[in-house]
Amino acid sequence: MDVTEKGIDSFAQKGRPVAPEGKSIKSRYKPDNKPYPSCSDAEVVAENLEKIWLSYPEDRRRNKVACLQNIQDVLIEVTFDDLLASVRAYATESADFTRSKVCFSDNWFRDQKWQRYLEAIEIANEARTVVAAKLLMQTTVWIKSRNGMCRHLSANQVNAAISAGLIERHEALDAGALV
CA distance 31 to 119: 53
Q: For 105-161, what is each residue's pLDDT tens digit?
A: 888 988 888 899 999 989 999 999 999 999 999 999 999 998 888 888 888 999 999
| Per-residue DSSP letter, 97 | -
Model pLDDT, residue 32: 58
Concatenated DSSP letters for 116-152? HHHHHHHHHHHHHHHHHHHHHHHHHHHHHTT-GGGGG
Least reliable range by pLDDT among 4-13, 70-79, 81-90: 4-13
Model pLDDT, residue 176: 82
- The average confidence (pLDDT) of the chain is 81
Least reliable range by pLDDT among 20-24, 65-69, 136-140, 155-159: 20-24
Model pLDDT, residue 9: 47
**Percent of the chain whose pLDDT exceeds 90:** 25
Mean pLDDT for the stretch of residues 66-84: 90
pLDDT value at 171 more than 80: yes
For 28, how many CA atoms within 13 A lie in the half-sphere containing its CB?
A: 10
Entry pTM: 0.57
CA distance 67 to 53: 8
In the chain, what are the domain boundaries?
41-112, 122-175
Amino acid at 3: V
Model pLDDT, residue 132: 92
**Percent of the chain whose pLDDT exceeds 70:** 77
| Predicted confidence band of residue 101 (pLDDT cuts 50, 70, 90) | confident
| Per-residue DSSP letter, 17 | B
Model pLDDT, residue 138: 93
Model pLDDT, residue 119: 92
Mean pLDDT for the stretch of residues 31-46: 67
Model pLDDT, residue 97: 80
